Amino acid sequence: MEKNLPPREGAAGAGRGLSRREFLTRSALLGASVAVAPALLAACSEQARTNHNGNNQTPDDKKISMKTRKLGTLAVSEVGAGCMSISANYGPPADKQQGIQLIRTAYEQGVRFFDTAEVYGPYTSETLVGEALAPFRDQVVIASKFGFKIDGTTGLDSRPAHIRQVVEESLKRLRTDRIDLYYQHRVDPAVPIEEVAGTIKDLIQQGKVLHFGLSEAGARTIRKAHAVQAVTAVQSEYSFMERSPEHNGVLAACEELGIGFVPWGPVGMGYLTGTLDARTKLDPKTDLRAGFDRFTPTTLAANRPVVDLLTAFAAKKNATHAQIALAWLLAQKPFIVPIPGTRNPAHLRENLGALQVTLTPADLQELETGFAHLRVQGGRMNPAQMQLVEA
Count Cβ neighbours within 10 Å for each residue of 154-186 and write b for 16 or more, e otherwise.
eebbbbeebbeebbeebbebbbbebbbbbbbbb
- pLDDT at residue 85 in the model: 83
Res 277 pLDDT > 60: yes
| Amino acid sitting at position 341 | G
Residue 6: pLDDT band with limits 50, 70, 90: very low
pLDDT tens, 335-385? 999 999 999 999 999 999 999 999 999 999 999 999 999 999 999 998 999
Residue 88: pLDDT band with limits 50, 70, 90: confident
pLDDT tens, 184-236? 999 999 999 999 999 999 999 999 999 999 999 999 999 999 999 999 999 99
- pLDDT at residue 153 in the model: 77
Q: Averaged over 302-322, what is the pLDDT?
A: 97
- pLDDT at residue 177 in the model: 98
User: Is 120 tagged catalytic?
Assistant: yes
Res 15 pLDDT > 60: no
Q: Which of 107, 120, 182, 183 is catalytic?
A: 120
Q: How open is the CA angle 164-150-123, to the nearest 5 degrees? A: 80
Res 52 pLDDT > 90: no
**% of the chain beyond a pLDDT of 70:** 83
Res 164 pLDDT > 60: yes
DSSP character at residue 6: P
- 23-42+51-386 maps to which CATH number? 3.20.20.100
Residue 77 to residue 65: CA distance in whole angstroms: 10
pLDDT tens, 245-269? 999 999 999 999 999 999 999 999 9
Q: Which of 247, 237, 204, 249 is nearest to 74 (CA)?
A: 204
Residue 127 to residue 75: CA distance in whole angstroms: 24
- pLDDT at residue 64 in the model: 61
| Cβ atoms 322, 12 nearer than 8 A | no
Q: Averaged over 149-172, what is the pLDDT?
A: 94
Residue 173: pLDDT band with limits 50, 70, 90: very high
